[in-house]
Amino acid sequence: MNEIILCKYGEIVLKGANRKFFETLLLREVKRRMSLYGAAEVRASQSTISIDPIVGEGEGKTASEPFDMDGAYEEAKKIFGLVGVSRALKVEKNMDAITAGLTEWIPSHLAGMKTFKVEAKRSDKTFPLNSPELCDACGGVILSVLPHIRVNVHNPDVVVRVEIRDTAAYIHAGQDKGAGGMPVGSAGRALLLLSGGIDSPVAGYMMAKRGVCIEALHFESFPYTSDRAREKVVELAKKMSLYCGEIHLHVISVTKIQEAINEMCEEDYFTLLLRRFMMRLACLCADKYQCGALVTGESLGQVASQTMEALGVTNVIADRPVFRPCIGMDKEEIIEISRRIQTFATSIEPYEDCCTVFTPRHPRTKPVLWKVEREENKLNVDTLVKEAFETLYTIKISRGEAVSDRKPAINAD
């Protein structure tokens, strides 16, 4: 039996004249990821991508390296742009082959089920049976081999789909939900300000789901923050990369900036001033790596620095759009997504980040811009920014692994 994987498009089907652009990006990403699991023919047709393992020699692989169907299937569910993923049987376009496939392949996929229904799609109109006739015929075959199961057209335990396409017929039972969204890279590149918390990995995931290619920027504050704090952020980026693709995690030290603010400025302005410096550094980093926008995990009113007034004070520094996909979400909604993408357990590990250093006892929640600027004028802003940006180094992360790191551990001699 020729078992394959079928992947259904999402929003791409709604695109007009530029649909081909999105299809090309999606197909390229599916091919890239599937190549990690062995040799397979990956083709797009009629709003569906089929992944057909190659048997024997082909594309530099041989039968001695079997295609990892289970691994590929789980991988396909993480690809943005796909809304449904299913394992299917590919057979010839005739009723004898379809009947044999239903008889041999379907019973194991309906094990434990009490009810089913059949849906048929006849894209090839030369096929002798129309869709209702095909449904009746296939339903009869299933009932003949599984007499204990019943038809329920309104609320079945499983839907068996039979599709008659241009080159073959496909049979599949049940479909898992895909990642949805748009292909990564279809909406440009943005820089995510990645802390060690719960919110920013979720924000990066949500923007990648909308087709944005993610670069990441993390601020460290050695010796006030530890090497473990940095490794926590690296681990978050690793988990994100399973969905977002390759991530370059850029790291900048803000230690001198924090010490200068702590020494020269009023305590209750500390967080606001630090975040304005972060915005300046983020814009420089975005220029360097050609990012058209910044992304943060801010949620309105969640903490003192995320009130409308505080966000306004920091936002004026940015010279490009700042996307905040979590802005209208409550904490439970954010946590639900973080659990789904498996970043939550890492995010709650008790390692400090730079935002917890020199935290004011009574931070300003309704700051006035001119007063913030008055405090900022006590500092040599340009020099502090320049010196901080010179500390930048990059960790390249791909498929859940850090594949390059241009700096040793920050607590090394």
| Three-state DSSP string of the chain | CEEEEEEEECHHHHCCCCHHHHHHHHHHHHHHHHHHHCCEEEEEECCEEEEEECCCCECCECCCCCCCHHHHHHHHCCCCCEEEEEEEEEECCCHHHHHHHHHHHHHHHCCCCCEEEEEEEECCCCCCCCHHHHHHHHHHHHHHHCCCCEECCCCCCEEEEEEECCCCEEEEECCEECCCCECCCCCCEEEEECCCCCHHHHHHHHHHHECCEEEEEEEECCCCCCHHHHHHHHHHHHHHHHHHCCEEEEEEECHHHHHHHHHHCCHHHHHHHHHHHHHHHHHHHHHHCCCCEEECCCCCCCCHHHCHHHHHHHHCCCCCCEECCCCCCCHHHHHHHHHHCCCHHHHCCCCCCHHHCCCCCCCCCCCCHHHHHHHHCCCCHHHHHHHHHCCCEEEEEECCEEEEECCCCCCCC
**Domain finish residue from 155, 177, 199:** 177
Per-residue pLDDT, 63: 47
119 and 139 share one domain: yes
In a domain, 410, yes or no: no
Residue 269 lies in a domain: yes
Residues 90 and 123 in one domain: yes
Residue 266 lies in a domain: yes
Does residue 254 sit in the same domain as residue 386?
yes
pLDDT score, position 30: 96
- Tell me, what CATH number does 292's domain have? 3.40.50.620
| 127 shares its domain with 200 | no
Looking at the fold, whether 200 and 128 belong to one and the same domain comes out as: no
Same domain, 362 and 308: yes
The answer to whether position 109 is within a domain reads: yes
Answer yes or no: do 166 and 263 share one domain.
no
Domain that holds residue 294: 189-405
Q: Are residues 172 and 214 in the same domain?
A: no
Block means of pLDDT (10 residues each) for the chain, length 413 residues? 90 89 95 93 90 70 73 96 95 94 93 93 90 94 94 94 91 93 95 94 97 96 86 94 94 95 92 95 97 96 86 95 96 96 92 68 86 95 97 91 59 37
Judge if 71 and 198 occupy the same domain.
no
Residue finishing a domain among 110, 145, 177: 177
- Give a yes or no: residue 183 inside a domain: no
Predicted TM-score of the model (pTM): 0.89
Shared-domain flag, residues 361 and 391: yes
Whether residue 194 is contained in a domain is answered as: yes
Say whether both 106 and 238 belong to one domain: no
Q: Is residue 168 domain-shared with residue 279, that is, in the same domain?
A: no
Q: What is the pLDDT of residue 262?
A: 92
* Number of domains the chain is built from: 2
Residue that terminates a domain, selected from 177, 207, 235: 177
29: in domain: yes
CATH code: domain of residue 36: 3.30.2130.30
Q: Is residue 411 part of a domain?
A: no
